[in-house]
């Protein structure tokens, strides 16, 4: 298989997982890496929307590029992948969207070049989107869970991030405190208690904070440290990218055309009772829809959208 054909197959979301192309890319690591760089550079420069007239065409080149570079442990790609995450091109492919949503931290850790100063600058910049800050803060957690940094390094980093975000009401700080619990940083429990019992001015954040988050964190600390760390280490999203063919193939099978693009049933939505919608109405629709888009982290794509529209999240603010 020619390099050009490999690139073509991994760049198109088709009916079948391009297993042969991915396996061939792995075999031809040295030849394929420069091409993977080009994919990401082009995506950053030009965006990811395809020029194809086929309405079923979906571009997936950047997904495979990042997973393969992560599998290769290509540290030279850290700045490039970081740039991609900081300014992600538009891509309406739900396979790419959901997969990257869960695995960005694992990808970036797999190519991490030990530039902690850069990581800190991203996390500490409150102008960055919550999701971006979450991804880069998780670098510390995954490195700790993989025994590459010690507990004090992780604890000191999280303390610093919490201090900087002290006045923030967003999902970055919420995720940080949950992550701290998953790493058994019991010293930060008082910060979680303070954060989750406060009255939020943002109605969306109030809704999230009331969703048993503090109880879940306290329940974690009822277990032993060894139990919690084992559970965290066993989660595939907390591991570096390995067995890339198996991982991508399993996810691909979950996203056949019917399940991804035809599972939205407007009649079903009309039958659902959103009796609490008015509790979370926003005064300024445009402003708060943008807020939901930029700050949402763990809302299910089939959950009701928190903007109060009554539509599923994936068909509203998550689209």
Q: Is residue 310 part of a domain?
A: no
Greater confidence (130 vs 261) lies with 130
For the chain, what is the domain count?
2
Q: Provide mean pLDDT across the span 106-125.
A: 97
Arithmetic mean of pLDDT over the chain? 81
Is it the case that residue 26 has pLDDT exceeding 60?
A: yes
pLDDT at 89: 66
Q: Is residue 156 part of a domain?
A: yes
Q: Provide mean pLDDT across the span 168-179.
A: 90
Q: Provide mean pLDDT across the span 295-311.
A: 46
How far apart CA 5 and CA 292 sit, in angstroms, is: 39
Query: CB–CB of 32/10 below 8 Å?
Result: no
pLDDT digits (tens, 9 = 90+) for 84-102: 999 876 665 555 667 788 8
Domain that holds residue 91: 1-113+239-260
Q: Provide mean pLDDT across the span 59-76.
A: 95
Question: Phi first, then psi: what are they for 222, rounded to 5°?
Answer: -80, -15
3-class SS of residue 50: coil
If DSSP states are collapsed to H, E and C, what string results for 275-290?
CCHHHHCCCCHHHHHH
Question: Phi first, then psi: what are they for 200, rounded to 5°?
Answer: -85, 140
| Co-location of 4 and 68 in the same domain | yes
Q: Is residue 73 part of a domain?
A: yes
Among the listed residues 105, 119, 110, the one whose alpha carbon sits nearest the alpha carbon of residue 232: 105
| Co-location of 37 and 1 in the same domain | yes
Inter-CA distances, 211 with 185, 215, 217, 225, 299, Å: 21, 9, 12, 24, 12
Is it the case that residue 277 has pLDDT exceeding 50?
A: no
User: In which band, very low, low, confident or very high, does the pLDDT at 112 lie, cut at 50, 70 and 90?
Assistant: very high
Is it the case that residue 53 has pLDDT exceeding 70?
A: no
Is it the case that residue 166 has pLDDT exceeding 80?
A: no
| Co-location of 176 and 252 in the same domain | no
Query: CB–CB of 123/133 below 8 Å?
Result: yes
| Co-location of 145 and 245 in the same domain | no
Is it the case that residue 5 has pLDDT exceeding 60?
A: yes
| Co-location of 155 and 196 in the same domain | yes
pLDDT at 290: 47
Q: Which two tokens stand for residue 53?
A: 């007239």
| Co-location of 252 and 208 in the same domain | no
Start-to-end C-alpha separation, the chain? 36
Question: Phi first, then psi: what are they for 312, rounded to 5°?
Answer: -70, 150
Q: Is residue 308 part of a domain?
A: no
How far apart CA 33 and CA 258 sit, in angstroms, is: 33
- List % helix, strand, coil for the chain (3-state, nearest 5): 65, 0, 35
| Co-location of 30 and 84 in the same domain | yes
How far apart CA 125 and CA 108 sit, in angstroms, is: 18
Q: Is residue 297 part of a domain?
A: no
pLDDT at 279: 46
pLDDT at 203: 84
pLDDT digits (tens, 9 = 90+) for 117-160: 999 999 999 999 999 999 999 999 999 999 999 999 999 999 99
Q: Is residue 277 part of a domain?
A: no
Q: Final residue of a domain: which of 230, 260, 290? A: 260
Q: Is residue 21 part of a domain?
A: yes
Greater confidence (317 vs 79) lies with 79
| Co-location of 106 and 127 in the same domain | no
Q: Is residue 300 part of a domain?
A: no
Is it the case that residue 56 has pLDDT exceeding 50?
A: no
| Co-location of 88 and 127 in the same domain | no
| Co-location of 209 and 63 in the same domain | no
How far apart CA 68 and CA 88 sit, in angstroms, is: 18
Percent with pLDDT over 70 in the chain: 73
pLDDT digits (tens, 9 = 90+) for 218-253: 999 999 999 999 999 999 999 999 999 999 998 887
In sign, the C-alpha dihedral spanning 108, 166, 168, 203 is: positive
pLDDT digits (tens, 9 = 90+) for 187-226: 999 999 999 888 888 888 888 777 668 899 999 999 999 9
| Co-location of 22 and 107 in the same domain | yes
Q: Provide mean pLDDT across the span 22-45.
A: 96
Is it the case that residue 16 has pLDDT exceeding 50?
A: yes
| Co-location of 159 and 186 in the same domain | yes
Is it the case that residue 312 has pLDDT exceeding 90?
A: no
User: In which band, very low, low, confident or very high, does the pLDDT at 255 lie, cut at 50, 70 and 90?
Assistant: low
Is it the case that residue 79 has pLDDT exceeding 50?
A: yes
Q: Final residue of a domain: which of 165, 194, 222? A: 222
């Amino acid at each position: 298989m020619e390099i050009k054909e490999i690139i073509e197959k991994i760049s198109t979301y088709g009916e079948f997982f391009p297993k042969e192309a991915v396996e061939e890319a792995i075999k031809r690591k040295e030849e394929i890496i420069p091409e993977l760089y080009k994919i990401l550079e082009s995506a950053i420069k030009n965006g990811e929307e395809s020029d194809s007239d086929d309405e079923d065409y979906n571009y997936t080149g950047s997904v495979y590029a990042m997973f393969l570079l992560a599998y290769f442990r290509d540290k030279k790609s850290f700045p490039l992948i970081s740039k991609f995450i900081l300014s992600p091109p538009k891509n309406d492919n739900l396979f790419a969207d959901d997969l990257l949503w869960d695995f960005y931290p694992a990808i970036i850790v797999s190519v991490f070049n030990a530039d902690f100063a850069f990581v800190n600058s991203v996390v500490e910049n409150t102008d960055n989107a919550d999701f971006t800050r979450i991804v880069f803060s998780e670098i510390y957690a995954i490195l700790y869970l993989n025994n590459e940094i010690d507990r004090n390094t992780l604890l000191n980093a999280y303390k610093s991030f919490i201090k900087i975000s002290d006045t923030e009401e967003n999902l970055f700080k919420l995720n940080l405190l949950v992550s701290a619990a998953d790493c058994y940083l019991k010293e930060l429990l008082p910060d979680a208690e303070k954060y989750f019992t406060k009255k939020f001015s943002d109605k969306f954040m109030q809704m999230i904070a009331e969703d048993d988050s503090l109880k879940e964190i306290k329940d974690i600390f009822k277990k032993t440290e060894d139990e919690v760390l084992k559970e965290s280490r066993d989660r595939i999203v907390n591991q570096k990218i390995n067995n890339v063919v198996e991982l991508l193939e399993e996810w691909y099978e979950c996203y056949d055309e019917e399940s991804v693009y035809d599972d939205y049933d407007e009649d079903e939505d009309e039958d659902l009772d959103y009796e609490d919608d008015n509790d979370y109405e926003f005064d300024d629709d445009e402003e708060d829809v943008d807020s939901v888009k930029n700050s949402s982290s763990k809302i299910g794509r089939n959950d009701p959208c928190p903007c109060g529209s009554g539509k599923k999240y994936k068909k509203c603010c998550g689209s």
